[in-house]
Amino acid sequence: MRAARWPAGAGIALWRWRRTARTTQRERLRTGPGFDPARLPQRGGDRVQGLRQGVGPVYQRRYSVRIVGSDLDAPALMDRLRADVNTASPVEFAVFDKISGSSPRLELGDEYDVHMPGPWNLPVRVVERTPRSFRLATLQGHIEAGEIEFRAKDTEDGALRFTIESWTRSGDRLADLLYDRVRMAKEMQLHMWTHFCCRVAELAGGRPAGDVEVLTERTEIAGDSSRFDGRHLVGPVAGALARAFTALAKARGGRALHARGLVLDATLRLSGTSRFWGVPLLDDTAELRGLARLSRAVGLPSPFPDVLGLALRWRQPADAADGGEPATAELLLATTGHGRLGRHLLRPAARWGPGFYGCLLPYTAGDRHVLLGAVARRPLRGDTAALARAAGEGPIRMDLVVATELGPWERFGELVLTRPARTDDPVPVRFNPARHPITGLRPAGPLQQVRRRSYDAVQQVDLRTGTGLTRRRKGTTQRRGPREHRRLQRLFEGLPERPVNFEARDRPENAGPAGWHIDDRRQPLPLERPGPPEPEGSWEIARRLVRDYEFADPRIIRSAYRSGEPEPGADMLLEARFFGLRFHLGVRVGDVVDTVVEEDGRRARVWGWNYRTLDGHLERGQMDQEVLKWLDTGEVEFRLRAFSQVAGIRDPVVRLGFALFGRPTQLEYQRRACLRMADLTEAALAARRTARDAGAGVRDAGG
């Protein structure tokens, strides 16, 4: 009879799910670190299937309903539920059958089979029982591994709060596929427990006050290699695409797509949404500064349609970034469709606006997949020159929106693009959102892994030589044999595995200046006329010197290897010389600054970058190198800022030598860097004047 009832019951359950699941509010349980599986106690007895026997991520899910109008208190409600669990279960879909235990009531140690449609039963055991709660643990053969608790409590206003909370992961690879990938089992579970909560309200003689609240937190298990995640397919596909895009990038001078673009200053004005996502970008009210790059993918001339790209980079607030330290976040958008299907497809466009820009590939927020987008409402022609003129006429505003994969779009802020509009041909601006994620959003799906491999490979292509690694320039490079080159190349390729050797909480602004050497040097450079930087003027020349790390005195320190231009997350291998010894030190680029700042009521155009020391470095700390032009007076200056301290040096001889001579050498390096920057800038300006005068003389002679 039960088997004959399943088709009709499954149909009823499906109808209820279609009617209620889309409107059920699903929120994140917390914004901090996820659930620690070690918190669940080790259960005794045989056949218990704990979290350690499961597959995939751990889901902590909480279903809660507030019940009003009931004459029962929490102990009485739970006593009635323990008398027969099926009085609250949707029996057309799931039935609790007791298979062990003498009492008809639910008691400690009892075992049940939960019968559901499909080729499985779900065995559980009662492992905890109190007057206000009971807890079930899964047994071998269950499609999940973990525990679930049913509890009730009395509230101060005379109502009841009934809660179902589970800490589970999939029991095997098939269940993981159905739950986390296809998400069929997840929706079945959602229907079962939300309906259970509503039936408990009826059992209490009251009614639900509002909807059932569903909160979820997902936690990945470190070292879990048992998942069916398609990694055996992702690797070859990613490698093939990476090689194809690398070849295309070399053929096109450094970029496979979006070769030329326009860079604008950007402001993200966040206002939040009507729901809680557990993501600072979507929940907070804030104003974040950054930059944006707009480009055409293939490079077809306007008015021909092309896939238009909008790349964003901004600084996240310190309290939103991991470790409490401000971190760079990046987001790549392109013209896509707006509807439920079109948002997953690229859509060529002939105009920058009006139009819709979407992220195409989803992110994970809690247990939901979300998409981000931007809506341009202002009419904007499709060529970069018209875009630059439009930015000069006034700010370009776009709505920032978010949606689940099938849900409606909801506005969470505004993107404001402002001048100065500049091309990035002299100093290409590159983006890699996999290296600079948005706090609270994880890239979802294997295509995100494929994209990361392709981006990393393309950004290893040097714009000048077409090789993967940028060596030092002529005049500063000594000749190396093949063996030495291979050794340094191996060192460089191992840098991504090394972490930064200091924590955010150790920085001087967080822990105080005690124990740190803090330096701030300013070097005046040749003046320019007031206003924006002049083409091939002092500021432009100094920017190139900072970009290429030319200001460093090669007698003390030089760049041995680096990948392309300084970009956030890029690694560099430095060669330091110290009393005839050579040390190869790894550093990682932290931030690249290209904006207009205001200090004491004065505006300055700034370009620069910083790097942070990695494990194995002789020091711990960060160095910032920037070039500024004060727009009101035309003053140009080079600024060198650093905080540092001695790292844990294992070699006692090196440790002693660095203790005696490290700080004086560091100060001498900074002094020489400032003087070298001034000398190189003046020499470049003088060469430019000489070439200009020579050209004028040739024209006069020809006249």
Highest mean pLDDT among 10-14, 40-44, 61-65: 61-65
- Asked if residue 410 lies in contact with residue 383, where contact means CB atoms within 8 angstroms, the answer is no
Residue 509 confidence (pLDDT): 83
The residue-averaged pLDDT of 177-206 equals 76
Phi, psi of 543 (to 5 degrees): -65, -45
Residue 215 confidence (pLDDT): 86
In sequence order, the 6+-apart residues with CB closer than 8 A to the CB of 667 are 519
Q: Which two tokens stand for residue 230?
A: 């398609």
Report the distance separating Cα 363 and Cα 369, nearest Å: 5
The residue-averaged pLDDT of 164-187 equals 71
Residue 250 confidence (pLDDT): 61
Q: Which two tokens stand for residue 258?
A: 């979006």
At residue 20, what is the residue type? T
Q: Which residue has the tokens 């294997």?
A: 446
Report the distance separating Cα 636 and Cα 306, nearest Å: 40
Residue 636 confidence (pLDDT): 94
The residue-averaged pLDDT of 105-110 equals 92
Report the distance separating Cα 586 and Cα 504, nearest Å: 18
Handedness of CA 125, 130, 134, 138 (dihedral sign): negative
Closest CA to 667 of 644, 637, 638: 644
- Does the pLDDT of residue 463 top 50, yes or no? no
- Does the pLDDT of residue 460 top 90, yes or no? no
Which value, to the nearest 10 degrees, does the dihedral of the CA atoms of residues 105, 106, 111, 113 take? 80
Residue 588, Cβ density class (10 Å: 0-12 exposed, 13-18 middle, ≥19 buried): buried
How many other CB atoms sit within 10 Å of the CB of residue 202?
14
Range of weakest confidence among 36-45, 220-229, 246-255, 552-561: 220-229
Order of strands across the sheet that contains 517-525: 517-525, 636-646, 619-630, 602-613, 581-599, 571-578, 557-562
Computed over every residue of the chain, the mean pLDDT equals: 80
Residue 133 confidence (pLDDT): 95
Residue 468 confidence (pLDDT): 40
Range of weakest confidence among 156-160, 172-176, 432-436: 172-176
- Asked if residue 251 lies in contact with residue 463, where contact means CB atoms within 8 angstroms, the answer is no
Q: What pLDDT digit, counting tens, does each position of 583-638 carry?
A: 889 999 998 998 898 888 899 999 999 999 999 888 999 999 999 999 999 999 99
Q: What pLDDT digit, counting tens, does each position of 554-574 carry?
A: 888 887 777 667 888 888 888
Reported residue count of the chain is: 703
Report the distance separating Cα 386 and Cα 397, nearest Å: 16
Q: What pLDDT digit, counting tens, does each position of 70-86 carry?
A: 989 999 999 999 999 99
Q: What pLDDT digit, counting tens, does each position of 271-322 carry?
A: 998 888 888 899 889 999 989 999 988 888 878 899 999 999 998 876 554 4
Highest mean pLDDT among 445-454, 615-624, 682-691: 615-624
Residue 251 confidence (pLDDT): 60
Give Rg (Cα) of the chain: 31
pTM greater than 0.85: no
The reply to whether omega before 526 is within 30° of 0 (cis) is no
- Does the pLDDT of residue 265 top 80, yes or no? yes
Q: Which two tokens stand for residue 570?
A: 């890029």
- Does the pLDDT of residue 247 top 70, yes or no? no
Q: What pLDDT digit, counting tens, does each position of 16-50 carry?
A: 555 555 455 667 666 455 566 667 777 777 788 88
At residue 276, what is the residue type? F
Phi, psi of 50 (to 5 degrees): -85, 180
Residue 334 confidence (pLDDT): 93
Residue 58 confidence (pLDDT): 86
CB-based contacts of 626-629 (< 8 A; 24+ apart in sequence): 626/546, 626/593, 627/525, 627/539, 627/542, 627/543, 627/545, 627/546, 628/604, 629/528, 629/533, 629/538, 629/539, 629/604, 629/605
The residue-averaged pLDDT of 328-338 equals 91
Q: What confidence tier does 64 reach under pLDDT thresholds 50, 70, 90?
A: very high
In sequence order, the 6+-apart residues with CB closer than 8 A to the CB of 360 are 334, 336, 343, 344, 345, 346, 371
Q: What angle do CA 423, 524, 605 make, to 5 degrees?
A: 30
The reply to whether omega before 446 is within 30° of 0 (cis) is no
The residue-averaged pLDDT of 115-122 equals 69
